[in-house]
């Protein structure tokens, strides 16, 4: 009678195959220099017994845990979950990271860490001690946190910094937020808009500044002024409403607005509706993120599409390659964003450009 799968251990596989525990572990970990006949023999026992390798078994053949830890911002992630406002950024990050891990026999685990916490070092030390990850993926704003970076360096853990272009340890990956903001602004300029407002995200995230820079650069290139056209938000819906009010409640409001994320874009759309400002006839609107909801608004929103899954997948690939001794990559790796055009952007009314 076959054993129940949950009762089968590496010891049962070793006994059935007539080999050592270390040999089974080497086969599980796909380590080099294992004879083909030995691999076939161990794999036959694994298939016969229905054995599922555990993390402990995978670690027996060496120091690798085959775990990659992804750190995301606790405060904003939990707030979005509780408000049920969607966590598409997290979803896409997991999509790219988890699928890529699975392709290479790894697993991804997510930890939420508050970058403002006085206990951040202790929290991260605890996670590292418990999980012993082979690598860590840092997402904004953790990507630029020196406490986290230094701790990973001290522990000699491979890591990737998403949303970072600063020189330093780890692999830096960017979606080129500055270029993305230029794409959005240039699209509006090409439609004939001259007063293009911009709602910035939280300056705690370095990428927020890059987006402002991209907007300013495109406006300057087109010979357009930016005075009175920049409003500060923090990525929340409420801040988007306040920023939209600041930009639209003036004598000469913008004919187009670029919002630095979907929540602030949705807030702008709603505030414009309350004010009797029609999108896109009176106001063209472009968003960042392209989460599912902006495709079903009225009108559907033109948006910058951030390749979050592709960036996360690339981060995992770099960490795994580093484990295998691949040559280091010092330059920031760019996975460029794109823009998708929908019904929220049109040429301005005559006399209102």
pLDDT above 60 (res 5)? no
Distance CA 39, CA 23 (A): 9
- Summarised one tens digit per residue, pLDDT across range 134-154 is 999 999 888 988 999 999 999
Q: What is the mean pLDDT of residues 6-32?
A: 82
Q: What is the mean pLDDT of residues 38-46?
A: 90
For the four alpha carbons of 110, 115, 117 and 119, in that order, the dihedral sign comes to positive
Phi, psi values for residue 245, rounded to 5°: -60, -45
Evaluate if pTM is beyond 0.85: no
Q: What is the mean pLDDT of residues 239-248?
A: 98
Burial of 219: CB neighbours in 10 Å, binned 0-12, 13-18, 19+: buried
- Find out whether 199 and 260 touch, Cβ atoms under 8 Å: yes
pLDDT above 50 (res 51)? yes
Average pLDDT score, the chain: 89
* Residue 120: per-residue pLDDT: 81
- Summarised one tens digit per residue, pLDDT across range 80-108 is 888 876 668 889 999 999 999 999 889 99
- Summarised one tens digit per residue, pLDDT across range 215-236 is 999 999 999 999 999 999 999 9
Q: What is the mean pLDDT of residues 254-280?
A: 97
- Summarised one tens digit per residue, pLDDT across range 149-207 is 999 999 999 999 999 888 889 999 999 999 999 999 999 999 999 999 999 999 988 89
- Summarised one tens digit per residue, pLDDT across range 56-68 is 555 555 557 889 9
- Which domains, ranges and CATH numbers included, belong to the chain? 5-60 (1.10.260.40), 67-175+308-335 (3.40.50.2300), 177-305 (3.40.50.2300)
């Amino acid at each position: 009678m076959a054993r129940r799968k949950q009762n089968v251990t590496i010891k049962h596989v070793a006994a059935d195959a007539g080999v050592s525990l270390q040999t089974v572990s080497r086969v599980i970990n796909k380590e080099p220099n294992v004879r083909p006949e030995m691999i076939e023999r161990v794999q036959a026992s694994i298939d016969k017994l229905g054995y599922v390798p555990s993390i402990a078994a995978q670690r027996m053949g060496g120091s690798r845990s085959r775990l990659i830890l992804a750190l995301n911002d606790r405060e904003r992630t939990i707030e979005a979950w509780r408000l049920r406002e969607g966590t598409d950024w997290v979803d896409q990050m997991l999509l790219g990271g988890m699928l890529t891990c699975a392709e290479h026999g790894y697993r991804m685990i997510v930890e939420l860490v508050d970058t403002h916490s006085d206990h951040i070092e202790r929290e991260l030390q605890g996670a590292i001690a418990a999980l012993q990850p082979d690598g860590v993926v840092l997402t904004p704003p953790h990507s630029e946190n020196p406490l986290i970076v230094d701790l990973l360096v001290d522990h000699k853990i491979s890591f990737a910094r998403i949303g970072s272009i600063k020189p330093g340890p780890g692999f830096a990956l960017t979606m080129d937020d500055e270029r993305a903001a230029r794409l959005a602004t240039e699209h509006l300029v090409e439609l004939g808009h001259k007063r293009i407002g911009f709602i910035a995200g939280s300056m705690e995230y370095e990428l927020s500044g890059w987006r402002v820079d991209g907007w300013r650069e495109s406006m300057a290139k087109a010979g357009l002024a930016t005075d009175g056209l920049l409003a500060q938000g923090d990525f929340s819906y409420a801040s988007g409403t306040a920023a939209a009010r600041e930009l639209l409640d003036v004598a000469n409001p913008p004919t187009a607005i670029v919002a630095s994320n979907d929540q602030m874009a949705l807030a702008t759309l709603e505030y414009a509706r309350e004010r009797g400002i029609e999108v896109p006839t009176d106001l063209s609107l472009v968003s960042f993120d392209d989460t599912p909801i902006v495709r079903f608004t009225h009108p559907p929103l033109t948006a910058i599409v951030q390749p979050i899954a592709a960036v996360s997948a690339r981060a995992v690939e770099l960490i795994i390659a580093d484990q295998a001794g691949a040559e280091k990559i010092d330059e920031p790796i760019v996975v460029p964003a794109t823009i998708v055009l929908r019904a929220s952007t049109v040429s301005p009314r005559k006399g209102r450009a």
